[in-house]
Structure 1
Amino acid sequence: MQTTKLHSKNYTELNGHYQLVLPFNFNVLIPKDDSVRLLSHILEGLNYEKLYKAYSSTGRKPAVEPKILFKVLTYAYTNNIYSSRKIESACKRDINFMWLLEGSRKAPDHSTIARFRKDHLKETIDDLFYQLVQYLHTLGEVTFKNLFVDGTKIEANANRYTFVWKKVVQKNEAKMFEKVQACLEEINLTYRSNFKVAKETVLDDLKAAMTYLEEKRHQENIEFVHGIGKRKSKLQKWTEQLQEFYNRQEKYDAHNQLFEKRNSYSKTDSDATFMHMKDDHMRNAQLKPAYNVQIGVESEYVTGIGIFQDRNDIATLIPFLNDIEAKLKTRYLNIIADSGYESEENYRYLEKKEQTYFIKPQTYEQWKKRRFKKDISKRETMVYNPETDEYTCHNMKQLKPVGITHRTSATGYRSEITVYESEDCSDCPHKSRCTKAKGNRRMQVSKLFVEKRQISYKNITTQEGTLLRVNRSIQVEGAFGVLKNDYNFNRFLTRGKTSVKTEFMLLSFGYNVNKLHAKIQNERIGKPLHPLKTA
């Protein structure tokens, strides 16, 4: 048997003399019902004017035409391929990718793919995604009637242990401020100066003091010394201390600017916030850098996307709906969401927009329980008289309004709270079950919130509301289930809020194409809602 030396980089010398027969047209190798054909057809009809404008007119010609590269990237996301290197490999080996590249075109390398995704798509992906939603609207699949809203936390591509906490920064900054004051007092006593420091102008105040010390140094001809065995003068010690304080204050200011309305961020991805993640099978909460991803779903298609840094969903609803309305140039009629979105501000916003809300109250599940109905401390178990604006407790005592206070939310919304107080609880035999207060029972109630909650409760308990609540669980929670489990998308590959949004929009783009393909093949076109199961 003749052996061949494996020294050549060209492995064709190792092959036998045989010819691989392939048709000249790849089209015949791709099944007629393959989703790549549908994807190519849909993407061919989009307007890529903004995408082409993202390329410089003076630069060199792109290695792959942007429209074709977008097709390749979208098709990769429909097949759970997210790494730029794996996409490059698929372009060289997968016949569907070769077909999208129109056969003769050279496969793009991983750096071209990564640069396209990070730099060129960030300004245009919104436009392309909502063009797809409008295309689904022309098909009759999306009618802008029912929007199912939900959110989930997806881990960021950041170090899990590089915490920066707002409370720690504020604590250290306050300690340093006291040291700055003490240092300036020593300088004032020595040089009979009048340096002061304010929290709003720390950097300017430190700079003024350092300039003064530098002038004193030149006047007294003091030479700064360094190294072991050298004795530093007081002026040098003060100068070095103030310089250290100045550098630290710059870092604190940078931290505070990044916090905005957050309590933490990661050093490796400053846009990511540390959130509790339920990852393991025991549902143990783990603290990881992540993004709060909000989606709106209609007829099983993702029609709206928002990336937020908030740890809860309450403050995300209004900006999310405003963004969808601005991008689609239309407004949904019905908004269906779970109890995580319930707030007086959200209720008022939806009424102002003339949108019917189907938001489950946070106490909805508790209301059903016998224990709740027997709990005499709850406002809901008391009798309310709207004419006299009084509540009657279990002991038949009246809780009358004694004052009004206001409460401001994290978003700046100001709500009016009415304070009620019982007539006399001193001899009440049920006081231990009703309140822990030493005096009379007090209760704070937002009348407007109670009114809007009751409207939402009536909406969700109608036949239409029941159908929509069931579909919310199926459609929007089902979409997240597919994206995170079937698509294995549990962690972002890119960093920064803009890049993360691009990545998730590509994922949703692929999800929508796959969903349309599945509905066509299963003959489910034109069925926006799943019917209720009958016994």
Structure 2
Amino acid sequence: MEYQQKQSRTQLALYTTCLDDMIAEENSVRIIDRFVDGLDLQAIGFGAMAPQGRPPYDPADLLKLYIYGYLNRIRSSRSLELECARNIELIWLLGNLRPDHNTIARFRKDNPKAIKRVFRHTVSIAKNHELIGATLIAGDSTKLRAQNSKKNNFNLKKVARHLEYIDKKLEEHQQELAKADGDAKEEIRKLAKNRERQRERYVRIQKELRADTSTENPQISTSDPDSRHQIVRGTITEVCYTAQTTVDADHKLLIDYKITNQNDKKAMGGMLRRAKAILGTNSFTALYDKGYHTGSEFKVANDIGVDTLVAVPGIGRASQAPDPAYNAEHFNYDPQQDSYRCPQGHELTSNGNWYRARNYRFKQYRTKACKNCPVRNGCTSAKQNGKILQRSEFTAFIEHNARRVTEQPDIYKKRQALVEHPFGTIKRQWGFDHIITKKGMPTAGADFGFIALAYNLKRLIKLGWKPEIRAKHRTNILKTLLITVKRSKDEFLAHISAFMKIQPSYRQISLISQIV
């Protein structure tokens, strides 16, 4: 049987070719090249790399390298270093530059804000090409594992368990020392010293935790200090970061992102403010799931004039009445009288005082009619005071949201299809389910910034967008062609008008030369 014949590795080529001819005109690497060349990197905030004995690398080249890497699922600085030496597309893109992995890693670590500005530039491109509708957006978050194991994450309860275990072991060692002799005694002393060193470490962590008064349940992560132990779904937990994202409905393009280490409760207000600034309007509707259902955030949405549709969570078991017909939502509020009327027709009034909970103020409403009400046992389980309703300062905004959700169920159903599209691409298709960087939230933000940037560029390319060649580059191309064909400028322009919209390759230059 005959097979396809390979070319000999030692065969010399009769006709030489340039590197540019090895990259197809429709190759996405050319789009990356033109996209970065069209940016004013100094204005965006990229500084030159600090020289270490020789001239630094151009930030444009390192940015091209990272965008290419993330678009092709390569994030590690060492992997990118390796690809620079063997990947023909990267050799073309970087002009055969080969930065080492330390230089590559520092570029990402040192430029989180500039990377976000490049991402914002993709949003501007989408707006300029009318790919963002700015009428319906959706927000959601996803958890991304940090470079910190559960073993190296501590809270007060966990540290107390470790100290209790160590104290127990130290007591056992003391008892063993009393009975041992010779080499056995020396071995036990070594074990006891190791336990004491461990104890000192946990005592130090315990002091740091007790000194942290910023949160109710403080944590310390020793490998990546800003990461936090959070619930991912159900009962599954991870030490991770939270990526808050906002998606436009028209083409599922990301318009905003932010890396945090908190849950969704207090995130919606900031997301809406940023969305308003980015889109330049507040005439859009925002969709969120029930994790964002927080009264103070609804007030923020109302203050900036944005309509929200946030899923209404179910009533907690502690707030349920014995008979669901007497739950709080069945009591009618009269804003004129500042009172409630129960299903039995009794009026519940307030003494006018505001009481303070952890994050909000509220009033209490009650009635003396509860004492002799025939349905009291179905309305409340309280033995003495009867039914007491609480109304927070944000209840009116919560009720307005609930009304919008009820009136527009078809719009809210679009939420999951919008927000899960980027997450499905990023986490399931690309496999980016973790943060690759360490040592803090800014570097984690830089990592996710490149992910978001790559996602938007991928979407833009699929939607048919192609960056224009800058005027400076057009001039360089014309000069090259003039030298090649050796003709006057007027005659030259008459023959290459068809090539003005694209960057000619070596093959095209040769063709023009023959025509002229």
**Normalising by structure 2, what TM-score?**
0.70
Q: Residue 492 of structure 1: CA displacement?
A: 1.1
Report what 2:78 is aligned to: 85
**Structure 2 letter corresponding to 1:393:** C
1:276 matched to 2:221? The reply is: no
Report if aligned partners of 1:146, 1:332 keep a CA contact under 8 Å in 2.
no
SS at match of 1:418: strand
Q: Residue 487 of structure 1: CA displacement?
A: 1.2
Determine the C-alpha separation between the residues in 2 that align with 1:471 and 1:159: 36
Report what 1:266 is aligned to: 221
**Structure 2 letter corresponding to 1:41:** R
Per-residue CA deviation, residues 80-114 of structure 1 (Å, 9 max, x unaligned), is 11122222233333332222113xx2332322221
Report what 1:301 is aligned to: 253
Per-residue CA deviation, residues 189-247 of structure 1 (Å, 9 max, x unaligned), is xxxxxxxxxxxxxxxxxxxxxxxxxxxxxxxxxxxxxxxxxxxxxxxxxxxxxxxx999
Determine the C-alpha separation between the residues in 1 that align with 2:139 and 2:300: 15
Report what 1:414 is aligned to: 360
1:36 matched to 2:26? The reply is: no
SS at match of 1:473: helix
**Structure 2 letter corresponding to 1:504:** F
State how many pairs are aligned. Answer: 417
Report if aligned partners of 1:272, 1:309 keep a CA contact under 8 Å in 2.
yes
Q: 2:99 aligns with which of 79, 95, 108?
A: 108
Q: 1:519 aligns with which of 424, 441, 463?
A: 463
Q: How does 1:428-443 map to 2 (within 5 A)?
A: 428-443=373-388
Determine the C-alpha separation between the residues in 2 that align with 1:75 and 1:506: 10
SS at match of 2:416: helix
Report what 1:285 is aligned to: 235
Determine the C-alpha separation between the residues in 2 that align with 1:351 and 1:30: 53
SS at match of 2:434: coil
Report if aligned partners of 1:35, 1:514 keep a CA contact under 8 Å in 2.
no
Report what 1:195 is aligned to: none
Name whichever of 35-44 and 17-26 sits farther off.
17-26
Determine the C-alpha separation between the residues in 2 that align with 1:381 and 1:338: 24
Q: Which consecutive unaligned segments of at least 5 residues does structure 2 have?
A: 1-7, 164-198, 466-516
**Structure 2 letter corresponding to 1:471:** K
Q: How does 1:8-407 map to 2 (within 5 A)?
A: 17-19=10-12, 24-50=17-43, 54-55=47-48, 60-61=53-54, 64-102=57-95, 105-119=96-110, 121-142=111-132, 144-166=134-156, 254-255=208-209, 260-261=214-215, 263-278=218-233, 285-298=235-248, 299=250, 300-310=252-262, 312-322=263-273, 328=278, 330-334=280-284, 335-363=286-314, 375-402=324-351, 404-407=353-356
**Structure 1 letter corresponding to 2:69:** A
Report if aligned partners of 2:292, 2:310 keep a CA contact under 8 Å in 1.
yes
Determine the C-alpha separation between the residues in 1 that align with 2:202 and 2:241: 29
Determine the C-alpha separation between the residues in 1 that align with 2:410 and 2:44: 43
Determine the C-alpha separation between the residues in 1 that align with 2:378 and 2:208: 50
Q: 2:400 aligns with which of 430, 455, 463?
A: 455
**Structure 2 letter corresponding to 1:267:** T
**Structure 1 letter corresponding to 2:452:** S
Report if aligned partners of 1:358, 1:456 keep a CA contact under 8 Å in 2.
yes
Q: 1:478 aligns with which of 412, 421, 425?
A: 421
Q: Quick one: percent identity of the two aligned structures?
A: 22
Per-residue CA deviation, residues 423-475 of structure 1 (Å, 9 max, x unaligned), is 33345453333221102433333264332123223333455x733x2433222
**Structure 2 letter corresponding to 1:446:** R
Report if aligned partners of 1:52, 1:66 keep a CA contact under 8 Å in 2.
no
Aligned-residue CA RMSD (Å):
3.7
Residues 52 and 462 (structure 1 numbering): CA distance in 2 closer, same or farther, change over 3 Å? closer
Determine the C-alpha separation between the residues in 2 that align with 1:337 and 1:78: 28
Residues 144 and 16 (structure 1 numbering): CA distance in 2 closer, same or farther, change over 3 Å? closer
**Structure 1 letter corresponding to 2:148:** A
SS at match of 1:129: helix
Q: 2:453 aligns with which of 496, 509, 518?
A: 509
SS at match of 1:18: coil
Report what 1:487 is aligned to: 430
**Normalising by structure 1, what TM-score?**
0.68
Residues 332 and 145 (structure 1 numbering): CA distance in 2 closer, same or farther, change over 3 Å? farther
Q: Residue 396 of structure 1: CA displacement?
A: 4.0
Report if aligned partners of 2:269, 2:298 keep a CA contact under 8 Å in 1.
no
Report if aligned partners of 1:265, 1:274 keep a CA contact under 8 Å in 2.
no
Q: Residue 403 of structure 1: CA displacement?
A: 5.0
Report if aligned partners of 1:398, 1:423 keep a CA contact under 8 Å in 2.
no
Residues 58 and 36 (structure 1 numbering): CA distance in 2 closer, same or farther, change over 3 Å? closer
Q: Which consecutive unaligned segments of at least 5 residues does structure 1 have?
A: 1-14, 174-244, 279-283, 522-535
Determine the C-alpha separation between the residues in 2 that align with 1:39 and 1:372: 61
SS at match of 2:150: coil
Name whichever of 443-452 and 346-355 sits farther off.
443-452
